[in-house]
Structure 1
Amino acid sequence: MTTEPADLINASAVSEALAAISAIPDPVAREKAARDLQTALTEAIADPLTRTKAVRQQAVLELRRTLTLAKVAEQLGLSIGRVDQIAKGK
């Protein structure tokens, strides 16, 4: 069985944390706990998101060496505009 990248994300742990936070009776404590979780999630994904963006850009630029924007878009299942954006690091 092949592990897909999305399978490596522990969504159930996040869901469990949200359920526990939702069960906090005091709204002030509940908001603070939710804020802490949101901060932790933001910090945990910031670097991987930046690195993922760079990997996508490099792959598109590699394809662009031999293919037109239209062909790259067709192969990736994306619009020409989106491929151009990725190539430009957007």
Structure 2
Amino acid sequence: MSVFLTARRVKSTPPANLLNREAFDQALTDIEAIGDPVARDKAARALQAALTEAIAEPLTRTKAVRQMGVLQLRRNHTLAEIAAMYDLSIGRVDQLAKGE
């Protein structure tokens, strides 16, 4: 039984393993089984919010890792050289260097 199964439990803390495909599929299956459209929508919105929250920190960290790599290479290489190494445009490498 998913935390999203009933309207009363919609505001419950999502499972820690929500990014696990099986956990996500189960949560979505449970939401789809909710008969009341309003409760189903609330549960779906709660799942979306939980996914957004779950992915925010890993996305921030991976962005920082990419920026660090480009900045390390910038010490000894031009943007064009780094772009060739990464198979990206010069503009995109510049964006990565700026943390964008």
> Which TM-score tier does this pair reach, normalised by the shorter chain?
0.7 to 0.9
Paired position in structure 2 for 1:26? 36
Aligned counterpart in structure 2 of residue 10 of structure 1, from 20, 23, 40: 20
Q: Secondary structure at the match of 1:66?
A: coil
Structure 1 Cα separation of the partners of residues 55 and 65 of structure 2? 15
Q: Percent identity?
A: 67
Aligned counterpart in structure 1 of residue 57 of structure 2, from 40, 47, 51: 47
Higher helix share goes to which structure?
Answer: 1
TM-score under structure 1 length normalisation: 0.81
How many aligned positions are there? 82
Aligned counterpart in structure 2 of residue 35 of structure 1, from 42, 45, 48: 45
Query: Unaligned 5+ residue runs, structure 2?
Result: 1-18
Structure 2 Cα separation of the partners of residues 10 and 22 of structure 1? 18
TM-score under structure 2 length normalisation: 0.74
Query: Unaligned 5+ residue runs, structure 1?
Result: 1-8
Query: Could you say which structure has the larger radius of gyration?
Result: 2
* Runs of at least 4 residues off by over 6 Å: none
Paired position in structure 2 for 1:69? 79
After superposition, the C-alpha distances for 1:7-55 in whole angstroms (9 at most, x for unaligned) are xx52232122112212222110110101111111111121121111111
Q: Secondary structure at the match of 1:67?
A: coil
CA shift, 1:76, in A, is 1.0
